[in-house]
Amino acid sequence: HLASAVRANGETYLARQSFRAPFHLSKPYWDGRVLHVQLVNSTAGILAGDELELDLAAEPAASLAVTTPAAARAFMMQSGAACCRQRFAVGEGAWLEYAPEALYPHRGTDYAQHTRLELAAGAATFFTDQLAPGRVGRGECWAWRRLCIGLEIVQEGRLLLRERLDASGSELARLAVFHGMREAWFGTAVVAAPALAAAAPVWESVRALHCEGCLCGVTALAPGVCIVRLVASGGLALRDTFAALRTTLASAMPGLQSDLRKL
């Protein structure tokens, strides 16, 4: 659990933090625009019986960027399951960027993840999520037993989106074939910027990222809130497209002008 707030001089700092294994927080640093925090799972990965809880808040006018240094791995579970509950709250006039590395579901895993993103009036965010088809380098694709990923987006108390993917690896493999890809890597970006209209010219540049090897689509959920979907033929293609998306939107979203270093 952590919350960022603003000092009298305009700097964002961690006002509250509480964590225990498997989570660890890096030492935060202020780059003059946003406060950077790395969230680390110091264990090998997610195992049967694990219950993870993550609660991040950017309080009014705060500016926070949270990344992870490595992929999340949900390991084989011969019995039982694991789950993760995540809540992200972006206060009035605040900025939150959440850019984790991809989730890799291993053979036989049973993993559920539910995310709730709460946006106050004037809140801005670039919130991303990535899903790998498995350990491709080991020849292990679409081999998990069950994967359940839910997302809710709430703006000023009003539900904008509630969705859930609940599928076996073989079911998602068929979806990949539908997109013409044997190895489909899925990405989602929630983009909230009060001054960014759905008809703004920058969205034409975003849609131009749609190409052979990486499909890109944009849907407006509400004024100032859009969701971008990516389906890529490989992990590098997805990473490069996310980096291009971030660069494209940076002209309209000043928080993205900070260097995450890993991109």
pLDDT by residue (tens digit) across 34-55? 999 999 887 778 999 999 999 9
This prediction has a pTM of 0.94
Check residue 254 and give its pLDDT.
92
Structure tokens at 168: 């076996």
257 secondary structure, DSSP code: G
Question: Residues 67, 96: contact at Cβ < 8 Å?
Answer: no
Query: How confident is the prediction for the chain on average, in pLDDT?
Result: 94
pLDDT by residue (tens digit) across 167-193? 999 999 998 888 888 899 999 999 999
Strand 185-192 relative to strand 225-232: parallel, antiparallel, unpaired?
antiparallel
Confidence of residue 263 (pLDDT cuts 50, 70, 90): very low
Least confident of 142-146, 176-180, 227-231, 249-253: 176-180
